Amino acid sequence: MKKILLTFVFIGLCGIAANAQLGKIKLDKAVDAASKGVKSFTISDAEIIAYTNEYMQWMDEHNPLCKTTDTDKGIKAVADRLAKIASAIPADLVKELHLNVLAYYVVDVNAFACANGDVRVFAALMDLMTDDQILAVIGHEIGHVVSKDSKDAFVAALRISALKDAAGAIGGNTATALTDSQLGDLAEALGNAQFSQKQESAADAYGYEFLKRCGKDPVNMATSLGVLLSLQEEAGAAENSKFNKLFSSHPDLKKRIDALNKKSK
Active site residues: 141
* SS3 readout for 152-177: HHHHHHHHHCHHHHHHHHCECCECCC
- CA–CA dist 170, 10 (Å, integer): 25
CA distance 164 to 57: 20
With contact defined as beta carbons under 8 Å apart, do 155 and 149 qualify?
A: no
In Å, how far from its chain's centre is CA 262? 27
Answer whether 120's CB lies under 8 Å from 112's CB: yes
Under a CB-based contact definition with an 8 Å cutoff, are residues 17 and 126 in contact? no
